[in-house]
Amino acid sequence: MNKKTIFGIILGVLLLGGCSNLLLSDSYAPESQPALSEPQSALSDDGLLKVHYIDVGQGDAILIQTPAAENILIDGGGNDDERLICDYLASQEVKKIDVLVGTHPHEDHIGGLDAVVNHFPVENVYLPRVTHNTKTYEDLLQAIKGRGLKVKTAQAGVTIPVTNLNCQILSPARSYENLNDFSAVIKLDYGQQSFLFCGDATETAELDMLAAGYNLQSDIIKIGHHGSISSSSRRFLKSVAPVYAVISCGQDNAYGHPHKEVLARLKKADINVLRTDKQGTIVVFADGKNNIEIKTNSKENGE
């Protein structure tokens, strides 16, 4: 889509549900389930794709709700985010997860997924073919096994079946030395609009995707590795040519994410930046045509 296309941005207040004790069951409901109020706009609820970039601090968690009422969860924050994630899913009236993706085995991406598997019915699980010797990863595998689920391999060329959407995994294409490069990179196309979710993929994986000749152009990109300088190379950003970039990172995190060099690249490319450390949970509403609306829970005035 041309950058000159008009996009509506509506900034509102998104209230997250209060945390409550988790009890093992096939369904989960917190004590309080405040519903997300829809943006007041010309967009109809019918036919809307909703993408929630959930504020889990220094980590990643993305809920995608399709027009066909299917739910895709990409990552689930860290171990301390279990209740937050389950509360948030319940607040959005999620009854089951049709597709669950753990982009790679780092704790800040998969830490909350075992709780999701234990408390929500899950249809399909995708993980990259790589192992990690941590209790967090073991807990996830045990939860998956306990539910009788089989893991499908997240790798380049795999198409995730989603009704009326094209959902393709673009990476990993091979084995890597860096665990971050095993990240499942997913491109979601809805009509004329596209979203790219990069996990923690670094420039190494980005170059492989460029060499593979994928159509990377996307309206919104979830920036790789929380805005680290290891990702978001100039060539990759030029190929994606997004209107918006979402960075998921924690306030005053010890890593200095997002790095100033990445922010400078995004600014030079005239890409609008949205950050969970500044704006909290970010929710995108897309109609598959020419309209995108964005709702945030701003943490700082003037951001």
CATH of the domain at 81: 3.60.15.10
| Residue 15 within a domain | no
| 31 Rama class: left (phi>0) / alpha (psi -120 to 50) / beta | alpha
**Residue 21 — pLDDT band, cuts 50, 70, 90?**
very low
pLDDT digits (tens, 9 = 90+) for 246-302: 999 999 999 999 999 999 999 999 999 999 999 999 999 999 999 999 999 877 644
pLDDT at 26: 42
pLDDT in tens, 195-227: 999 999 999 999 999 999 999 999 999 999 999
Within a domain: residue 38? no
Please check whether residue 24 lies inside any domain of the structure: no
Distances (CA, A) of 48 to 36, 38, 96, 297: 14, 11, 19, 20
175 lies in a domain? yes
Overall average pLDDT of the 85-95 stretch: 98
Mean pLDDT (the chain) is 88
Q: Band of the pLDDT at 38, cuts 50, 70, 90?
A: very low
The answer to whether position 29 is within a domain reads no
- Judged against a pLDDT cut of 90, whether residue 4 lies above it is answered with no
Domain span at residue 153? 49-296
Whether 1 has a pLDDT exceeding 60, the answer reads: no
Position 20 scores a pLDDT of 32
27 or 1: which carries more pLDDT confidence? 1
Side chain identity at residue 132, one-letter code: H
Distance in angstroms (rounded) separating the CA atoms of residues 226 and 211: 23
pLDDT value of residue 35: 36
Tens digits of per-residue pLDDT, 137-158? Answer: 999 999 999 999 999 999 999 9
| Cα–Cα distance, 149 to 289 (Å, whole number) | 36
**Across 86-100, average pLDDT:** 98
Higher pLDDT, 270 or 45: 270
Q: What is the pLDDT of residue 159?
A: 98
Q: What pLDDT is recorded for position 13?
A: 34
What's the structural domain count of the chain?
Answer: 1
**Does a structural domain hold residue 187?**
yes
Question: What's the pLDDT at 231?
Answer: 98
Query: What's the pLDDT score for residue 227?
Result: 96
> Which residue would you say has higher pLDDT here, 171 or 299?
171
Q: What percent of the chain has pLDDT over 70?
A: 83
Strands (E), the chain: 49-53, 61-65, 71-76, 97-101, 122-127, 151-153, 166-171, 185-190, 193-197, 220-222, 244-247, 272-275, 282-286, 292-296
- Flag whether 254 is in a domain: yes
What does the pLDDT average to over 123-129?
98
Which pLDDT score is estimated for 40?
45
Q: Is the pLDDT of residue 110 over 80?
A: yes
Percent of the chain with pLDDT over 90: 82
